[in-house]
Amino acid sequence: MTMFLLRPSFGPWQSKPHGRGLGKARLALAPGPPARDARRHRGYTPFMSSVHHHPLRWDGWLPSVLGLGAALATGLSATGWLALPVFVLLLLAVRAAVHHAETVAARVGEPFGTLVLALAVTIIEVALVASVMVTADPPKVTLVRDTIHAVVMLVVTGLTGLCIVLAALRHREPGFNADGATALLSVVGAMATLALILPNHVRAAPGGEFAPVQVATVAGLCLGLWVVFVLVQTVLHKAYFIPAEDQAALLNTAEAIEAVTGRPTPREAFLASGMLLLALAGVVLLAKTVAPAIGQSVAAAGLPPGVEGVVVAAIVLMPETATALRAALADRLQASLNLALGSAIATVGLSVPILVGVAAWLGQPLELGISPADTVLLVLAIVTGVLALSGRITNLLQGSVLLVIFAAWLLVVLVP
């Protein structure tokens, strides 16, 4: 079935008439996208979710309830084989929390929707990392570094590369908006350089550490850059984060946009808010319960300590990864980039200040500087990503290059 949207008769590259609203614009009846493809026009939203199901569906609340029960029953400490089902419940609770956050975000709109999702993801990451920091003996001074570095590399090389490859295999030369893609990568690159590379080149503290005033300043800079990014993406320059062929959708009336995006009802948003709080409570307690087992499993397998940060980062990114890959297969590469790189920006921009505060409260030192090999691969990843996304289209080769860098990084993690 074909939907019809009211669109101004002027073209998408012509100037919009002055004045608020579309009252002075001559409206024409134009065929819109089929209902099954209507969500394509949501490419600019950072919380490009899968189809919203009812918040009270079993997978939206049962994992959280079971997780809370398991955490309390085990006394917030699960070891051995008992940790495996608790870990599965943690993954399901993370998935439920992110989905409910996306539902609330889709209802409240921008810029508050982005804040809801970013805060939910940050709570999940902070809960996981802080739980390991609290239970670790001796303190793991590199855990924050390993987790943040893993998030950046997983997103910039692994997830972005895989999205490009999948989109290219199905659609040959998928298109996107280079203005938004390069803006996303520039923010990720700046944050990663400040937090992970700069500590190795200052003299106020030994090794890869910052002096207290330095770490506080860098944390504030990352937070400030995230705030500016949110304003640009959701208020000032939304068009940067929309595919060029979809920019005309911004000229639709509010009613038409709501009809296309399938905005959740107030009741659904209210229920999702309650389920979000329940899911986040489950995540926090489950993280505390399973945190010792993660480190013990890594050590028992004879793996380097950096693998623990990769595991935490993978858990945090898991829900958005599936949605980003589905968007790439549906020829919505811009939505995939918004999700993937936007998640990295929120994770670094919000988690660094909070985890720095947690470390200060615990009295633990933080070693943030990455190794020379990791520095080379991080710089290579950012430069290659900017080159791959500097045009209006991309292809299989550019995605494959990113995946090769991702494989090299995994090699360095597993065999330092």
Q: DSSP letters of 273-307?
A: HHHHHHHHHHHHHHHHHHHHHHHHHHHHTT--THH
* Poorest-pLDDT segment among 15-24, 258-267, 326-335, 383-392: 15-24
The pLDDT value recorded for residue 206 is 78
d(CA 154, CA 406) in angstroms, rounded, equals 7
* Poorest-pLDDT segment among 39-43, 101-105, 262-266: 39-43
Burial of 64 (0-12, 13-18, 19+ CB in 10 A): buried
Which residues lie below 8 Å from residue 160, measured CB to CB, with a gap of 6+? 336, 337, 340, 341, 385, 399, 402
Mean of pLDDT values over 106-134: 77
Which DSSP letter does residue 57 get?
S
pLDDT in tens, 232-276: 888 888 777 776 555 544 444 444 344 444 677 888 888 888 888
d(CA 281, CA 279) in angstroms, rounded, equals 5
The pLDDT value recorded for residue 371 is 92
Predicted model pTM: 0.78
pLDDT grade, residue 101 (50/70/90)? confident
Average pLDDT, rounded, for the chain? 77
- Residue 394's SS3 state is coil
pLDDT grade, residue 290 (50/70/90)? confident
> Which residue did the predictor score with more confidence, 374 or 277?
374
pLDDT in tens, 156-200: 999 999 999 999 998 888 877 788 888 899 999 999 999 999 999
pLDDT grade, residue 377 (50/70/90)? very high
Mean of pLDDT values over 341-367: 88
> Does residue 41 have a pLDDT over 70?
no
d(CA 79, CA 93) in angstroms, rounded, equals 19
The pLDDT value recorded for residue 414 is 93
pLDDT in tens, 132-164: 887 777 778 888 999 999 999 999 999 999 999
Question: Would you say 339 and 317 are in contact if contact means Cβ atoms under 8 Å apart?
Answer: no
pLDDT in tens, 298-316: 888 888 988 988 998 888 8
Which DSSP letter does residue 74 get?
T
The pLDDT value recorded for residue 16 is 38
Q: Which residues pair with 4 in a beta bridge?
A: 31
Smallest CA-to-CA distance from 262 within 37, 12, 101 is with 37
pLDDT grade, residue 92 (50/70/90)? confident
d(CA 228, CA 187) in angstroms, rounded, equals 10
| HSE value, Cβ hemisphere, 13 Å, CA-based, for 163 | 33
* Poorest-pLDDT segment among 109-123, 340-354, 380-394: 109-123
